[in-house]
Amino acid sequence: MASLTPQVTTPAVPGTAPARPGRPRRPRVWRGVVLLLAAVYFLVPLIASFVFTVKAPDQGFSLDAYGEIFSAEGFAGSLLLSLGLGAATIVIVLLLTLPAVVAVRLGAPRWRPVLEVVCTLPLVVPPITFVAGISTVLRWGPDYLASTPFYQTIIAVQDPGFPIVLVLAYVVLALPFAYRSLDAGLGAIDVRTLSEAARNLGASWPHVLLRVIVPNMRSAMAGASFLTLALVLGEFTIARLLSFQTFPVWIYTISGAHAQVSVAVSVFSLLITWLLLLALSSAGARQRSGS
Amino acid sequence: MNGARVEFRGLRRRFGSTVALDGLDLTVEPGELIALLGPSGCGKTTALRCLAGFEQPDEGEVLVDGADITRVPANRRDAGMVFQSYSLFPNLNARDNVGFGMRVRKTPAARRHARAQELLELVGLPDVGGRYPHQLSGGQQQRVALARALALEPRVLLLDEPLSALDAKVRVTLREEIRRLQLSLGITTIFVTHDQEEALSMADRVAVLRDGRLEQVADPATLYDRPATPFVAEFVGAMNHLPGLLSGDQVTVLGQTLPVEGPRPAGPEADVLVRPEAVLVVPDGEGEGMVVVSSFRGSTARLRVRLGDGAEVLADVPGHDSARLAPGTAVRVRLVERPVLVSARTATGVTAAVPEPDAVA
């Protein structure tokens, strides 16, 4: 996606560096070629989708499909549900991963590979396997347990208004991305010295985490949040198989009836995602500059 | 602000198979600046970290003013620390860095800022309050770190090689300022360093550590003139070991007879310990010595002179003499007439464990 943001590269103009033979210029040319290829790869489907949505059979250009998005039934509900799920997932995944990554780095560096493997595991489990497991677990509650808190919990996590079970599933799916991002961010600061300096000045461990480590990891946390949000806004398999009406599922549902509208929604959701990325990364960048 | 008495009692700490501290006993008097000196891996930093609370000794205890603080968590100890690496919080400006400890203690903002400004002035940086660490030079960062460590008026100041990342000139000015500040505040200070020049020039007493044990603790002049062990003699400054013959209170070395000071070994054959600055070198076409190497250091030049019998001796001569004592010059070597230390016979030669300073206190 990053390749889509307009990048100002100074193109190598052939023949402008007379003294030096082509060698130092070469990488630039290749950079341009790679950028172009990547741009084509990403842009062509996007432009094709866009053209499809604005081309009405009779009157040429029309933005009607985009207008219809907002009036389509279930749009607002499903979008808000997905955003809510995304927010909840971000909070939980950060609360889980950040202290774990910090603790391992400070207290048990030898366990780092273990944490890394555990956090990467969700990438290798196919979503279909994952969801099969979840639905099996959800069917555990036999009827004679109907009056117990256990059964009620199982019912509660499947509330279609806000399915907590999806949040839990997404937390697992988001772990690899959150872990990578936070671990890289932690690598950029000298956590040990900073936390020791803060301890030496009387700070308790929670204080160290909130006042010293978190403020210096804003951009890494923004990155983790963005990846998580992108994941939640695009996740289809699990939501669909557990029959929850999230945004991607809604897009799929209406695509049967209004093909044009569904593609318009896809383009629209990409746009939303980019705007969120922009907001998050600029928030991170502002923190970096420190003022 | 008054200093506390710090005592290390039988401190032991082992990391896997390496022993960092092997029964360290050391008492630091109130208001004293003591330097922990030793090669890397000698346990000096571990000792400091045990006092700061970042490290738990396996055995032994740390006492501050008689109170055992071995099990007190790091954030409840009354010791300010300056670290080797730059440790300012990157997200806070200099003023907020200095005020961090006061903020933890919920000091009102106005008082915090006033006190932070006061401390910044104390370390000679009155105008950098609004700047962020990445806008400060290395020396400025360490000054701010010093101000931050002093902000809570601790009774012990811990310096963990705070100057090692700085360039030579800044290092010298900053160490003089640290000393001046320490004397005016009267704060007990423990300074870890592997740089003997730093240790000798700043400290009231220097504790030389080796393999987690204390080799010698003494004031700089004694340490340099009367090293208690061969290790200290070789680690602090350079030392010539010259073959000598003992007879009563005298020793004959290089054809000279000098009085002996301190303990003397049993046999008549002994090593005479002579500092390079106590070796006089005079150009002499008839002399049996020859300058092999000369390294110019400005105020002095260090010569390596090969004697007639093949032994080598280090000599420090005034810098302006280095031209007429260029390598290849035939010379005559004499020792300064003063009492010398002798030790039991070992391999003859010259030893200098680390690059030694030109002139030492």
Closest CA to B144 of B116, B167, B115: B116
Write the pLDDT tens digit of every residue in B170-209.
899 999 999 999 999 999 999 999 888 899 999 999 999 9
Which residues in chain A have Cβ-Cβ distances shorter than 8 Å to B104?
201-203, 207
Q: Quick check: A202 and B83 CB within 8 A?
A: no
Greatest mean pLDDT range, A215-224, B140-149, B221-230, B234-243? B140-149
Closest CA to A201 of B324, B76, B45, B301: B76
pLDDT at position B346: 67
pLDDT-derived band at B87, boundaries 50, 70, 90:
very high
B123/B216 same-domain check: yes
Burial of B286 (0-12, 13-18, 19+ CB in 10 A): exposed
Q: Which of A2-11, A116-125, B181-190 has the lowest mean pLDDT?
A: A2-11
Q: Is the pLDDT of residue A130 over 80?
A: yes
B27/B163 same-domain check: yes
* B81 CA: distance to closest CA in chain A (Å): 7
Q: Is the pLDDT of residue A20 over 60?
A: no
Q: Quick check: B75 and A193 CB within 8 A?
A: no
Write the pLDDT tens digit of every residue in B307-359.
888 888 999 999 888 888 889 889 999 999 888 888 887 654 454 444 444 33
B256/B177 same-domain check: no
Which residues in chain B have Cβ-Cβ distances shorter than 8 Å to A201?
75, 80, 100-101, 104, 148, 151-152
Q: Is residue B361 part of a domain?
A: no
Q: Is residue B359 part of a domain?
A: no
Q: Quick check: B89 and A290 CB within 8 A?
A: no
Q: Quick check: A194 and B89 CB within 8 A?
A: yes
Q: Quick check: A200 and B100 CB within 8 A?
A: no
B85/B153 same-domain check: yes
Q: Is the pLDDT of residue A9 over 70?
A: no
- CB contact set of A171 (below 8 Å; sequence gap of 6+): A89, A92, A93, A96
B345/B215 same-domain check: no
B331/B203 same-domain check: no
Q: Which ipTM value was assigned to this complex?
A: 0.80
pLDDT-derived band at A286, boundaries 50, 70, 90:
low
A283 phi and psi angles, rounded to 5 deg? -65, -45
Q: Which helix (H) or strand (E) holds B181?
A: helix B168-185
Q: Is residue B246 part of a domain?
A: yes
Q: Is residue B115 part of a domain?
A: yes
B163/B88 same-domain check: yes
Q: Is residue B195 part of a domain?
A: yes
Facing residue for B81 by CB, picked from A189, A200, A291 = A200
Q: Which two tokens stand for residue B84?
A: 């080797």
Chain B nearest-CA residue for A199 = B75
Of B225, B255, B273, which residue constitutes the final position of a domain?
A: B225
pLDDT at position A277: 75
- Which domain does B278 fall in, by range? 237-351
Task: Give percent of chain B above pLDDT 70.
Answer: 95
B11/B116 same-domain check: yes
Interface residue A290 vs chain B (CB under 8 A): yes
Q: Quick check: A199 and B134 CB within 8 A?
A: no
Angle (nearest 5°) at CA A182 between A180 and A186: 115
Q: Rounded to whole angstroms, what are the CA distances from B248 to A38, B7, B225, B270, B282? A: 90, 42, 22, 12, 30
Task: Output the domain CATH number for residue B47.
Answer: 3.40.50.300
Residue A198's CB is within 10 A of a number of other CB atoms, namely 25
Domains of chain A plus CATH, in order, are 79-289 (1.10.3720.10)
Which residues in chain A have Cβ-Cβ distances shorter than 8 Å to B105?
202
Q: Which residue has the higher pLDDT, B86 or A59?
A: B86
Which residues in chain A have Cβ-Cβ distances shorter than 8 Å to B144?
none
Write the pLDDT tens digit of every residue in A184-201.
999 888 999 999 999 999
Interatomic CA distance for residues B234 and B273, integer angstroms: 10
Interatomic CA distance for residues B99 and B36, integer angstroms: 29
Q: Is the pLDDT of residue B289 over 60?
A: yes
Q: Which two tokens stand for residue B322?
A: 């280095």
Q: Rounded to whole angstroms, what are the CA distances from B38 to A3, B28, B48, B201? A: 54, 17, 13, 15
Write the pLDDT tens digit of every residue in B106-116.
999 999 999 99
Q: Is residue B204 part of a domain?
A: yes
Q: Quick check: A198 and B148 CB within 8 A?
A: no
The DSSP annotation for chain A comes to: -GGGS-----PPPTTS--SS-SGGGHHHHHHHHHHHHHHHHHHHHHHHHHHHHHEETTTEE--HHHHHHHHSTTHHHHHHHHHHHHHHHHHHHHHHHHHHHHHHHHH-GGGHHHHHHHHHHHHHS-HHHHHHHHHHHHT---GGGTTSHHHHHHHHHT-TTS-HHHHHHHHHHHHHHHHHHHHHHHHTS-HHHHHHHHHHTT--HHHIIIIIIGGGGHHHHHHHHHHHHHHHHH--HHHHHTT---HHHHHHHHHTT-HHHHHHHHHHHHHHHHHHHHHHHHHHHHHHHT-
Q: Which residue has the higher pLDDT, A263 or A174?
A: A174
B71/B212 same-domain check: yes
B216/B268 same-domain check: no
Write the pLDDT tens digit of every residue in A86-107.
999 999 999 999 999 999 998 8
Facing residue for A202 by CB, picked from B54, B86, B105 = B105
Contact B146, B116 (CB under 8 A): no
Angle (nearest 5°) at CA B221 between B218 and B226: 70
In this prediction, residues A116-122 reach a mean pLDDT of 90
Q: Which helix (H) or strand (E) holds B170?
A: helix B168-185
Q: Is the pLDDT of residue A24 over 60?
A: no
Write the pLDDT tens digit of every residue in B126-152.
999 999 999 999 999 999 999 999 999
Q: Quick check: B104 and A203 CB within 8 A?
A: yes
* A52 CA: distance to closest CA in chain B (Å): 48
Task: Give percent of chain A above pLDDT 90.
Answer: 30
pLDDT at position A142: 66
Facing residue for A290 by CB, picked from B54, B90, B100 = B90
B304/B332 same-domain check: yes
Interface residue A200 vs chain B (CB under 8 A): yes
Task: Output the domain CATH number for residue B265.
Answer: 2.40.50.140
Write the pLDDT tens digit of every residue in A202-240.
999 999 999 999 999 988 898 898 889 889 988 888 998
In this prediction, residues B69-81 reach a mean pLDDT of 91
Q: Is the pLDDT of residue A254 over 50?
A: yes
Q: Quick check: B53 and A207 CB within 8 A?
A: no
**How many domains does chain B divide into?**
2
In this prediction, residues A233-256 reach a mean pLDDT of 86
B188/B47 same-domain check: yes
Of B164, B194, B225, which residue constitutes the final position of a domain?
A: B225
Contact B200, B361 (CB under 8 A): yes
Q: Note the Cα B327 to chain centre separation in Å.
A: 32
Q: Is the pLDDT of residue A15 over 60?
A: no
Facing residue for A199 by CB, picked from B75, B134, B149 = B75
Greatest mean pLDDT range, A263-272, B225-234, B285-294? B285-294
Which of B88, B96, B104, B155 to probe the A interface (max A CBs under 10 A)? Answer: B104
Of B225, B258, B281, which residue constitutes the final position of a domain?
A: B225
Q: Is the pLDDT of residue A8 over 70?
A: no
Q: Is the pLDDT of residue B5 over 60?
A: yes
Q: Which of A58-72, B21-35, B67-81 has the lowest mean pLDDT?
A: A58-72
Q: Is residue B1 part of a domain?
A: no
